[in-house]
Every structure is written in C-alpha cells, then in structure tokens.
Amino acid sequence: MIRAFVCVARRDLALALRRKSDVANTLVFFVIVTSLFPLGVGPERSLLHAMAPGILWVAALLASMLSLARIFEPDFADGTLEQLALGVEPLSVLVIGKIGAHWLLTGLPLTLISPILALQFDLQPLAILALCGGLLAGTAALSLIGAVGAALTLGLRGGGVLAALLVLPLYIPVLIFGAGAVGAVESGLGAQPHLLLLGAFFLTSLASAPWATATAIRIALD
C-alpha cells in the first residue's frame, strides 16, 4: 500500500518537475497578488500592516485554488485516472498520494516564500512565524478540500470555475483562523489556539477528504 502511495506521489512530483512553469506560475501569482495591494491601497504603513494577514492569506488561498485543475484533470484526460481506479490499492490511498504531491508543489513553496512577502508588510518576527505555521497546516487543508471540488467537477465544461465556487466557501474557516493567528500575535495574544484549530481542521480534512475525493472520481468515471 505504501509502495503504491509513494509511486503515485513520486510520479506526480516527477511530472511537475518536467513542467516547472506550472509550479512557478502559482508562486508568481502569489507574489504578484500580494504586491498589488500596496499599489492599489496606497503606501500607508499602518493600513497595510493591519491588512497584511488577510492579504497574504487570501492570496495564498487563491494561489492554491488556481492549481486545483492540475490535480486530476490531466489524468482524467489521458486515461491514467481510470488505471488508478483499477489499481490493486484503495483509490483513496492513491488520492492521498496525489494530494500530497500537490501540496509539496503549491502549499509548501507558498509557505516558504511567505516570510519574504510578510517583511514587505512590516510584520514582526513572531507574527511571521505564526503566518508560516498557519500556512503549513492551512495549505495542506486547502489542498485536501480543493481535491474534493476538483474531483466533483471532473470532465465538466467550465469545471474550473465551478470547482472554485464549490470550494471557496469551505476555505472560509481556514482563512479565518489562519489570518486570525497572525492578527492575534500582532495584538499581543498568542497564536496557539488558532494554530491548534487549523491543525484540527487539517486532520479532519485528512480523514474525510480522500474518501470523498475517491468517491467523486468513481462517479466521474462512471
């Protein structure tokens, strides 16, 4: 079971590394969106400082969503998805492998680049730490929830937009607690409760999303 899981995750990582532009696009999108706000809102320091957690989190959320179509759509189109469904191991295990690869290619790079963008908004070191911790668990939850939306809209015309509409409302708790963690540190309170809630949210989605995704894939193949 581990073998098939690792095999799928490695395959997706290898494929992504052969198309580096896809990975880079997500990151560039994240950087550009966060950099647009100072241009639009004006360079007032206190205003940007107050808005920073929200801006960074909304941008991360959109960047993660932008890449959802890449999880299953190519596999669906070339028939490898039906081969996964006919594999010996449970489809939900293989799905976790694919979602894990998606997170390594979007969530993790976003988390790693976020401190640099946080500096642009003059966040304190502790707040940056809360941002990174939150993004680490939060983006994993985003990938898991997003995968359900991506699987539900497989093979539909305009599926990308529909997936976004399905998934965005479910992203709200992650956004609230993620941005809340940074805000809490900024206002002198600890970020721990927020981060624990994000962790709980990640674990809940880890327990339910792969199963829901696998079911949605079977329906899409039917």
* Smallest distance, other proteins to C-beta of residue 76, A: 9
| Per-residue interface string for the shown chain with other proteins, residues 60-79, x marking contact by CB under 8 A | -----------------xxx
CB 36 within 8 A of CB 58: no
CB 106 within 8 A of CB 67: yes
**Terminal-to-terminal C-alpha distance of the chain:** 25
Does 86 participate in binding other proteins (rule CB under 8 A)?
A: yes
| Per-residue interface string for the shown chain with other proteins, residues 201-220, x marking contact by CB under 8 A | --------------------
Does 7 participate in binding other proteins (rule CB under 8 A)?
A: yes
Does 4 participate in binding other proteins (rule CB under 8 A)?
A: yes
Does 13 participate in binding other proteins (rule CB under 8 A)?
A: no
Does 22 participate in binding other proteins (rule CB under 8 A)?
A: no
- Concatenated DSSP letters of 45-109: HHHHHHHHHHHHHHHHHHHHHHTTHHHHHHHHHHTHHHHHHTSSS-HHHHHHHHHHHHHHHTHHH
| DSSP 3-state percent helix, strand, coil across the chain (nearest 5) | 85, 0, 15
Does 115 participate in binding other proteins (rule CB under 8 A)?
A: no
Binding positions for other proteins, rule: CB under 8 A:
3-4, 7-8, 11, 14-15, 18-19, 77-80, 82-90, 94, 221-222
